Amino acid sequence: MSETTTAAPAATTDETSAAPEQFADVADVIAQFAQAGYLADQRLGTTVFLQGRLGKPLLLEGPAGVGKTELAKTLAAVTGRELLRLQCYEGQDETTALYEWDYGKQLLYTQVLREKISQVVADVDTLSEAVDRIGAEESVFFSERFLAPRPLLEAVRSEKPVVLLIDEVDRADEALEAVLLELLAEFQVSVPEIGTFVAKHAPLVILTSNNTRDLSAALKRRCLHLSLDYPAADRELEIIKSKNTGLSDALAAKLVQIVRGLRDLDLRKAPSISEAIDWARTLAVLGADELDAEILSQTANVVVKYDRDLARAVDALPRLVDPNAEVPTHLHSHDHGHSHDHGHSHDHGHSHDHDHNDSGREKRASKDEPGRHGDDYYGAPGNSSDIGKRTVSAGQGSRSFASRGGGARKRPF
């Protein structure tokens, strides 16, 4: 019943088959990406070209929505490779990134082989001997048959070249970074119970980070690095036009300027490129033939996803459309369902204070009119002089003070 399963022997980086030269030069990278719908500039095209030639992982850092994840998808499409994706999150450990043992399958096999196990220990006399006999066969249950690979190990064991996307690595704990170092440096994964798996085909590894925390120097040292930011206005316009949103070029150009104006506001999350594309498509579907504050305010939730941000965006949109325009009252943030406690003052054109104060004074004055209540409102008719008075006997008073030990009445806390 003895079975021995070992991983492929460790290999040097040179022994791992390198990726074929997919791109002839930087211009070829830019051209192939453009055909796939991704507009890459010279700097990005150069980095992707170097990644293929040097065989190093690529770390992309920058705000959300600038095309980091989309670059990995486009790279997989252009190179014809399968895309394997590890989505990182807080508290993630190696069992969801590398591998885990299929305990259910191990237990099932144990039940099925119960009779065979009994035969293995049938001729032993002591419990320790039985444990030793079974222990000699434990490698059967810690073999590749019971190994459940996760994206990192799957990328190494793949029989075909793949693109491995490790998305939002900054969201994971630093412990996961340590797990990644072996893979990023040598394209291999070590499983203590089995051995070391070395990639037959070096994967193209893309790591993305939204800069929510600093990554370790050890991880950055193993990667090519590229910082992506929001593109220039002309580049962003080209991107929107390339997506065939249905919006005219003139309106698309105006929309780009408005989106860039929203990014200058103090927003919790600035509008991304992908959200700007969605906004252009939304306006095209609504048949917008001009961009005014009215239609932009009605659709601003496409690019602004938090209530506080939406209030600020709606207030700013008329100014972004036309700096000299007068802001209609119904476009103020107070009229779109938000409470008055979102940071805006009440003195920007509303008459709430005057109306409320006048109404309040009238109501208070009406309550102060004498004779508004009947004669018996405070007590028996004709006893107005006794209003507010109550007779307390000496006995009642002494009992009240006696209950407190004769001391002064204490204030409750």
| Separation of CA 159 from chain center | 32
What are the structure tokens assigned to 405, written together? Answer: 């030990």
Q: Is the pLDDT of residue 21 over 50?
A: yes
Q: Look at 5-9, 129-133, 271-275 and tell me which has the smallest mean pLDDT.
A: 5-9
Q: Is the pLDDT of residue 122 over 50?
A: yes
Q: Kindly report, residue by residue over 322-364, the tens digit of the pLDDT.
A: 877 655 555 454 444 444 444 444 444 444 444 444 555 555 5
Burial class (CB in 10 A: 0-12, 13-18, 19+), 6: exposed
Q: Kindly report, residue by residue over 173-201, the tens digit of the pLDDT.
A: 888 888 899 999 999 988 877 878 899 99
Mean pLDDT of 151-180: 91
pLDDT grade for 80, boundaries at 50, 70 and 90: very high
Q: What is the DSSP string of 220-264?
A: HHTSEEEE--PPPHHHHHHHHHHTT-S--HHHHHHHHHHHHHHHT
Q: Kindly report, residue by residue over 374-394, the tens digit of the pLDDT.
A: 554 444 444 444 444 455 455
| Residue 391: partners with Cβ closer than 8 Å, 6 or more residues away | none
Residue in 217, 213, 282, 231 with CA at minimum distance from that of residue 252: 282
Sign of CA dihedral 72, 74, 79, 83: positive
Mean pLDDT of 125-154: 68
pLDDT grade for 9, boundaries at 50, 70 and 90: very low
Mean pLDDT of 203-231: 94
Judged by phi (left if over 0) then psi (alpha if -120 to 50, else beta), residue 81 lies in beta
Q: Tokens 């590890």 map to which residue? A: 86
Q: Kindly report, residue by residue over 45-76, the tens digit of the pLDDT.
A: 999 999 999 999 999 999 998 999 999 999 99
Mean pLDDT of 212-230: 94
Question: Number of helices and strands (H, E) in the chain?
Answer: 17, 9
Q: Look at 79-83, 190-194, 232-236, 251-255 and tell me which has the smallest mean pLDDT.
A: 190-194
Position 286 scores a pLDDT of 96
CB 38 within 8 A of CB 242: no
The model scores a pTM over 0.75 = no
Position 96 scores a pLDDT of 78
Helix axes 68-79, 26-35, angle to 10 degrees: 100
CB atoms < 10 A from the CB of 130, how many? 16
